[in-house]
Structure 1
Amino acid sequence: MKYLTAAAATAIDVQLMDPARGGFALSQLMELAGLSVAECAYKLLTGSQRQQQRQQQRQQVLVVCGPGNNGGDGLVAARHLHHFGVDVRVVLPKPAVREPFVSLVVQVAALGIPVAATLPSANEMRSHVGLVVDAVFGFSFAGNVREPYAAILSQLKVVEKEVSILSVDVPSGWHVEQGNVSGAGLEPTALISLTGPKECARFFTGRHFLGGRFVPPQIQRDFGVEIAEYVGAEQSVELFV
């Protein structure tokens, strides 16, 4: 499997937004990536048994959004999960101040999805949260985690062995190429790589999904990205390596 460096992941995004190559706007990419995340989260939450589905749909999904594009993917995912019939809450530690994030927050609020700046307590997460979507930091993250996100990650680490976590593209706190070198990053239950797995995914041992059905085949071939076989209407596929 081809693993992408941060530079390669950035180059793919540039190609996707090139009018002559991919033709996508940033907001479109967020919409499609967020849909992939939501579909993957729904798979994890409901499982394959009808009885499981009825039981687990009552459990809440907590979508934790960071300040960058990863957070935008999370906001889109929250909206789609709501339309899938899931009880969703959003944690947005810092208010959105630019587009398309401002509009994404308006869309979420218009559906009555609660948006808070802080996480629920550890006990509340253990009791009521069936899945946390970690959309805090993506492949452009570098350096030390600053507040308020350092506290958010610390709180999630307290419950990460008891509450399932799906990380978007890169587990938050990980170096995009070297993995969880500080030990302070999340150790999620599952990871959904977008467009292609990043180098850090080599060190990930949980369930690994790929989302990126929207990436044109030629761009996938140019970067040596895994061309996955999606079935029917699915937007994510589990990788077995």
Structure 2
Amino acid sequence: MFFRLISSGLLLRVSNVGSTNMAAGSRKCSTTRLRYLTQKEAIALDEELFNEYKFSVDQLMELAGLSVATAVSRTFPVSTHPSALIICGPGNNGGDGLVAARHMSLFGYNVSIHYPKRTPKPLFENLLAQCVAFGVDIVENLPPPQQLCDHYQVLVDALFGFSFKPPVREELKPAMTAMIEATIPVCSVDIPSGWHVEKGPGIAKALRPALLISLSAPKMCAQSEFILDAKHYLGGRFLPPGILHKYFLRLPPYPCEDQVVLLSC
């Protein structure tokens, strides 16, 4: 659910692009010099948020999911992409997806969830129950990837996070294949599913998202040479000053009361 800095001290510049028009108005892409987190650093940062700063999992999940829903709506507004499918995995990324589904339904989207391996914990069960109460459709069997465009205009990838280790389990392979082969845009939560946190996609036939929403701070795989033409947002406006200082994080300021900031156009 979170981000990465560069242990070697390498600083990378997010592409310097002019203003871009979005549904919520015009924003400028950030030119802040970012530090990107390794997998080890991302895990350590999470543990500090829980142990040192006393955040709860559901508290951070709610803020992360709202950020995801906001970034999706900025990039693929309900006026042009009214129907969305969110593919949720068994970990915290899947919980972020469940929260995003609820918020997107409130934003006016017709939202469906595919949740092939459910997590038998009260938090996840409650989030799923909330989605159902808000009219989110639960899809048990995915249509073939080429037919997804007949039902949806945008996919949200909340399958795997930065703790993923290959191979993909059999029960999750159809969901992974659907996102790789889909002809509609995919929006990835924090890490494109199946990617190595530091080395990126690794294989030719990998998920290529149209939108990446980094949470807390970007991970190494969010560098421009990996995400190519994808739009890139940062969300998760909850990092304490002590975390920023300890990890030498240089993050761009969030505009006004926004929960997300555009990093690259």
Calculate the TM-score normalised by the size of structure 2. 0.81
Deviation at 1:149, TM superposition (A): 1.5
- Structure 1 residue matching 2:76: 3-state secondary structure: helix
Residue 76 of structure 2 is aligned to residue 41 of structure 1: no
Question: Whole-Å Cα distance in 2 between the matches of residues 130 and 118 of structure 1?
Answer: 18
Deviation at 1:184, TM superposition (A): 4.0
Match of 1:187 among 203, 208, 220: 208
- Structure 2 residue matching 1:101: 3-state secondary structure: helix
Give the corresponding residue for 2:144: 121
Match of 1:146 among 158, 163, 169: 169
Give the corresponding residue for 1:198: 219
Question: Whole-Å Cα distance in 2 between the matches of residues 224 and 62 of structure 1?
Answer: 36
Say if 1:195 and 1:211, in contact at 8 Å, map to a contact too. yes
Q: Runs of 4 or more off by more than 6 Å in structure 1?
A: none
Name structure 1 gaps, 5 residues minimum.
47-52
RMSD of aligned Cα (Å): 1.7
May I ask how many residue pairs the two structures share in their alignment?
A: 229
Residue 197 of structure 2 is aligned to residue 176 of structure 1: yes
Name structure 2 gaps, 5 residues minimum.
1-33
Say if 1:36 and 1:235, in contact at 8 Å, map to a contact too. yes
Match of 2:249 among 222, 225, 232: 225
Give the corresponding residue for 1:3: 36
Question: Whole-Å Cα distance in 2 between the matches of residues 145 and 178 of structure 1?
Answer: 17
Question: Whole-Å Cα distance in 2 between the matches of residues 147 and 81 of structure 1?
Answer: 29
Calculate the TM-score normalised by the size of structure 1. 0.89
Deviation at 1:73, TM superposition (A): 0.3
- Structure 2 residue matching 1:239: 3-state secondary structure: strand
What pairs with 1:1-241 in structure 2 (closer than 5 Å)?
Answer: 1-18=34-51, 21-46=52-77, 54=79, 56=80, 59-159=82-182, 162-202=183-223, 203-205=226-228, 206-240=230-264
- Structure 1 residue matching 2:170: 3-state secondary structure: coil
Deviation at 1:220, TM superposition (A): 1.8
Identity %: 41
